[in-house]
Chain A
């Protein structure tokens, strides 16, 4: 089949699956940028402990990198939820201004050590570079600052704009029947389990022509998620009264698992490449989903008014694999 024929097929017959793949991949980029922000926060906190020699350039560079990464995250969010783009960019501009004020305030000499001070008399907290870093850390995630003014508040807010939208098929999450129809009409139902399976790269380019099964997919995280639930529908994900309740979008190392249940939101994203610095598991779920009973040890969990967020970063391949097996068992058995 020529490329033109493939494109015609994509554009005329199944734009929904392609859109779903693009949204899923974009959501992964969004998570990567959020993770990079957390790494920058941690880097700043580590340097503030007093063991490191750093100068003003380091702190200014840290601020610049946070603003740059925040901009990438806002861009991803705006692609995922265009209707919130204007609001998000307005909030982002406020943070750019806050960053600029931090840099300019410190450059004007405020909070500096008086000239002629004896080095032995200067405490760490009086050093202007440490003061600046301390102000920056408060801007990142200060507990004592007014609500909704920190970068972390903004990150969480952005998260919920994205999560509430739900990237499945690019539809509002409340329209679950439309989501189900999208997958039902696309021949992506697994023949051996009650789950829709989407190949993130292949299905975005070409519609499936033959029936598929879990065994056909060479996906490390999917294999581990379903390892303990057997290869039969009787022990794996099952069809409920509303139809098939799960959709898994996969590539060799990526898995995006979402529920299609009308009264519940659950989304698991993972990268299991074997490279510890980039691998992660991230989960968002409604409070009613009972995350506490699903998660293995080691997860960072945050409860909010919108639901629960849980993640595990910088973990070994074995920990990721074991965690996925436990989660799969708890979800599907």
Chain B
């Protein structure tokens, strides 16, 4: 059995974690959800995640700082940024710093799953592509 993909999901809006976690669980990811960037950074110090998905705009620490922290601590980890509204400058800066990809809100879980699928391939731990069906997360 293949090792599950370890994913850290960071967004200060609780709805994002609540709705994305089940969507990523379905494709075999093991997801830890954080709303506080400092708590997430502390967890990153403790554990090497395969993928970090982070919002770009947060109060205590923005997505660029999270990206830098991840790259300093675990260079192999792929970072995916969730961007909000009119954050082009931040997104451009993140691109220059080696972010794996971006996804803009609002988005469908399947859109993020496709990016995670590519990140997993880049890491040499591919996900079964049959799991990438576009299923709504509505309950």
Contact = CB atoms under 8 A, between A and B. Distances in A.
Interface in A75-118: 113
Contacts of B30: none
A49 B108 CA distance: 11
A251 B17 CA distance: 52
Interface in B1-26: 11, 13-22
B14 A113 contact: yes
B136 A51 contact: yes
Interface of B: 11, 13-22, 84-85, 105-109, 112, 136-139
B7 to A, nearest CB: 15
B22 A120 contact: yes
29 contacts: A49-B138, A50-B136, A50-B138, A51-B136, A51-B137, A51-B138, A52-B106, A52-B107, A53-B106, A53-B107, A53-B109, A53-B137, A54-B105, A55-B11, A55-B13, A55-B15, A55-B105, A57-B84, A57-B105, A113-B14, A119-B17, A119-B22, A120-B139, A122-B18, A123-B139, A124-B139, A127-B15, A127-B18, A129-B15
A332 interface: no
Contacts of A61: 85
A28 interface: no
A50 B137 contact: yes
Interface string A135-154: 00000000000000000000
Nearest to B136: A51
Contacts of B13: 55-57, 129
B106 A54 contact: yes
A109 to B, nearest CB: 12
B71 to A, nearest CB: 25
Nearest to A117: B18
B138 to A, nearest CB: 3
Contacts of B106: 47, 52-54, 58
Contacts of A49: 136, 138
Given A50-B137, A55-B84, A56-B13, 14 more contacts: A50-B136, A51-B108, A51-B109, A51-B137, A52-B106, A53-B20, A53-B106, A54-B106, A55-B11, A58-B85, A123-B139, A124-B138, A124-B139, A127-B18
Nearest to B106: A54
A320 B20 CA distance: 42
A52 B112 CA distance: 11
A58 B105 contact: yes
Contacts of A51: 108-109, 136-138
Task: Among B11, B19, B136, find the residue whose CB has the most chain A CB atoms closer than 10 A.
Answer: B19
A56 B109 CA distance: 17
Contacts of B138: 49-51, 124
Contact of B108 (A52, A56, A57, A127): A52
B120 to A, nearest CB: 20
A53 B19 contact: yes
A49 B19 CA distance: 14
A120 B14 CA distance: 13
Contacts of B107: 52-53
